[in-house]
């Protein structure tokens, strides 16, 4: 009985050695190891391209709106009007633009050059009440800073870049555009 068991063990040992020497399927192993790395790189690159496109369009929309703002195109300016103008220039690049965009319009004291807080105020998706921001139209020849913060969702939420950008999953990440201008004579309040 022990002789039969020894023969069986040798046969299993030889088959195991033969199996370990075979090279079929090694390309599959390389693919399995490298595929996630390349897909992560590809999807993160795509996410970054979309992010930069959204940022460029937000900057352009703010600049086009500020061009009309400094010329006094709107006599009774309010935050909703300015927001709708920026959103109309953005198109569909930022979904739910009117609810995801927070605007701040602040005069700059030219005697002290004190600027507003550098941290932009953005929409807080988790709160029922949104933060209060300054929105003052300013007077003639007054220097103004307009800041827009749009919360956007990543295209691929599970990629490494999206996970780095979002503080909490589902909160999105902020895109901020800032512009400065001086109210032309005959504009403002």
Q: 65-122: per-residue pLDDT in tens?
A: 999 887 777 778 888 999 999 999 998 888 888 889 999 999 888 888 888 887 888 8
In this structure, is residue 187 part of a structural domain? no
Separation of alpha carbons 179 and 189, rounded Å: 20
How many domains, the chain? Answer: 1
Residue 109 is part of which domain span?
2-182
What is the DSSP pairing of strand 143-152 with strand 173-182? antiparallel
pLDDT at residue 168 in the model: 65
Residue 188 has pLDDT above 70, yes or no: no
- Asked whether residue 68 is assigned to any structural domain, the reply reads yes
Residue 70 resides in a domain: yes
| pTM of the predicted structure, to 2 decimals | 0.77
The pLDDT of residue 89: 92
Q: Is the pLDDT of residue 147 over 60?
A: yes
CA distance 169 to 114: 35
Tell whether 86 is covered by a domain.
Answer: yes
Q: Distance between CA atoms of 112 and 100, rounded to whole angstroms?
A: 33
Contact between 186 and 141 under an 8 Å Cβ cutoff? The reply is no
The arithmetic mean of pLDDT across residues 57-67, rounded, is 94
Residue 171 belongs to some domain of the structure: yes
Residue 49 lies in a domain: yes
Coil, strand or helix at 162: helix
Contact by Cβ (8 Å): 93, 56: no
The helix or strand, by DSSP H or E, that contains position 68, with its residue range, turns out to be helix 26-70
Query: Is 189 among the domain residues?
Result: no
Query: 14: helix, coil or strand?
Result: helix
């Amino acid at each position: 009985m022990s002789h039969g068991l020894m023969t069986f063990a040798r046969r299993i040992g030889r088959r195991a050695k033969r199996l370990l020497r075979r090279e079929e399927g090694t390309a599959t192993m390389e693919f399995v190891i490298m595929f996630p790395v390349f897909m992560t790189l590809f999807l993160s690159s795509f996410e970054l391209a979309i992010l930069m496109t959204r940022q460029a369009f937000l900057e352009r929309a703010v600049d086009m709106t500020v061009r009309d703002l400094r010329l006094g195109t709107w006599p009774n300016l309010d935050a909703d009007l300015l927001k709708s103008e920026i959103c109309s220039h953005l198109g569909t690049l930022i979904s739910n633009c009117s609810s995801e965009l927070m605007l701040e319009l602040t005069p700059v004291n030219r005697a002290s050059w004190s600027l507003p807080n550098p941290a932009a105020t953005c929409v807080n998706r988790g709160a029922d009440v949104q933060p209060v921001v300054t929105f003052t139209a300013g007077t003639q020849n007054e220097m103004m800073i307009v800041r827009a913060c749009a919360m956007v969702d990543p295209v691929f939420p599970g990629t490494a870049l999206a996970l780095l950008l979002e503080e909490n999953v589902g909160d999105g990440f902020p895109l901020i555009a800032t512009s400065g201008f001086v109210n032309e004579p005959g504009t403002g309040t």
